[in-house]
Chains A and B, each alone.
Chain A
């Protein structure tokens, strides 16, 4: 009987650590199988024929049409550049430059992948249809409230993510992420 307490504790630790860590690695996706640049991360091998076990589990779990390695790379940000969760009640400014790609799109989505833009407005930013500064850098706004320049109106409550789809992104083909610059996400104000 005196083993019962330690045994139950060990079983609890095993289940919590085993399942908890599995959930964490597949949901947060920043420990194994991913590349991170600032708040952005991508499952680097999601578009390859022989992904690592973590990426394979992620691919199976999402059940999505992943971008093939030759087609591009799909980045996600769930936090701003200060590490705070993206919240639909806040206005975000996305500043800077993107890696070299034929074109890119940026889509705000709910945690389940549902697009959260206003039904009567555009659903995404497209690199060929945004106003840029004279040096080519971009300044995008994602918020519920009216914002200047390039603005995507979002709806609803709670957390969200930004998906950045880089098509034909040669800068990630063997060069490494050090050379890749990703835009920063800055929280400006919250409701």
Chain B
């Protein structure tokens, strides 16, 4: 009886090791990630307005049907990223994601930004150049440091009513997104 208990206890210890290995390795093994999903959209250096999720249809990005979304991808190896534009007088927010889908940075227009979106994304090397004042950037640019070179930017915009969605989506489409021109 004791021998069986020891074997089962050994099995539980091995199970704990398997559990830790699964949790830690899962982000590396996933084939359907946020990155692969956004990569299927032609959103490199341009904002793409996402279609509102409809009832009964797949919603892999788990979008909120009440919000309008624009996403774009930026490769920071080509230079610092920049997202700029004028957004309507309504709640909006912006989030920067890394390849693993984790949020590197997020903010809302309630943080004193107002209607003007002017966000710069810099990798570690570019941040160093910025600190050494070797990069010229516009005054007022909100600076975000990214540890990764591949980033996704998502802008959420909340139309006060669905009747205003089309106009709000048109405003999202007018955003500029890409690499900072030197």
Q: Judging by beta carbons under 8 Å apart, are B55 and A47 in contact?
A: no
CA gap between A50 and B45 in the complex, in Å = 26
Question: Does A64 sit within 8 A of B, measured CB to CB?
Answer: yes
Q: How far is the CA of A107 from the CA of B21 in the complex (A)?
A: 34
Residues of chain A at the chain B interface (Cβ within 8 Å) = 6-7, 9-19, 21-22, 25-26, 46-51, 53-54, 56-57, 59-72, 102-103, 105, 107, 109, 112-119, 121, 123-124, 126, 128-129, 155, 163, 165, 167-168
* A124–B66 CB distance below 8 A: yes
Distance in angstroms from B56 CB to nearest chain A CB is 6
Given contacts A63-B30, A114-B59, A165-B64, contact A17 B12 (CB under 8 A): yes
Asked whether B11 lies within 8 Å of A17 as measured between CB atoms, the reply is: yes
Choose from B8, B18, B58, B66 the contact partner of A105 (Cβ within 8 Å). Answer: B66
**Which residues of B lie under 8 Å from residue A69 when comparing CB positions?**
103, 106
Which one, B3, B58, B107, contacts A114 given CB within 8 A?
B58
Quote the shortest CB–CB distance from B83 to chain A (angstroms).
Answer: 14
Q: Does B86 contact A (CB under 8 A)?
A: no
Spot the interface stretch: B124-132, B153-161, B172-180.
B153-161
B55 and A61 contact, CB distance less than 8 A: no
- Could you say which residues of chain A place their CB within 8 Å of the CB of B16? 17-18
Contacting residues, chain A, for B4 (C-beta < 8 A): 6, 9
State the 7 A-B residue pairs at the shortest beta-carbon distance, nearest first: A68-B106, A18-B18, A17-B15, A13-B11, A10-B11, A14-B14, A64-B62
> Which A residues touch B107, using CB under 8 A?
68, 70-71
Q: Is the CB of A12 within 8 A of B11?
A: yes
Interface SS of chain A = mixed
A to B CB contacts below 8 Å, 12 in the list: A9-B11, A49-B104, A60-B30, A62-B101, A67-B106, A71-B156, A72-B93, A103-B158, A105-B66, A121-B55, A123-B53, A165-B64
Chain B 10-51 interface mask (CB, 8 Å, partner A; 1/0): 111011111101111011001011101100000000000000
Known: A71-B95, A115-B54, A124-B64. A56 touches B27 (CB 8 A): yes
Q: Is the CB of A18 within 8 A of B17?
A: yes
- Please give the distance in Å from B172's CB to the nearest CB on chain A: 14
Inter-chain contacts of B104 with A (CB < 8 A): 49
Q: Are B91 and A65 in contact (CB under 8 A)?
A: no
Chain A residue numbers with a CB within 8 Å of B101 are 59-60, 62-64, 66
Asked if B8 and A9 sit within 8 Å, CB to CB, the answer is yes
Q: Which residues of B contact A119 (CB under 8 A)?
A: 54-56
Q: How far is the CA of A109 from the CA of B15 in the complex (A)?
A: 33
Q: Which of A47, A59, A155 has the most CB of B within 10 A?
A: A59
B7 and A116 contact, CB distance less than 8 A: no
Shortest Cβ distance from residue B26 to the other chain A in the assembled complex, whole angstroms = 4
Provide the bound-state CA to CA distance between A133 and B160, in Å: 21
> Taking the complex as formed, is B112 at the interface, i.e. its CB lies under 8 A from any CB of chain A?
no
Interface string of B127-145 (1 = CB under 8 A from A): 0000000000000000000
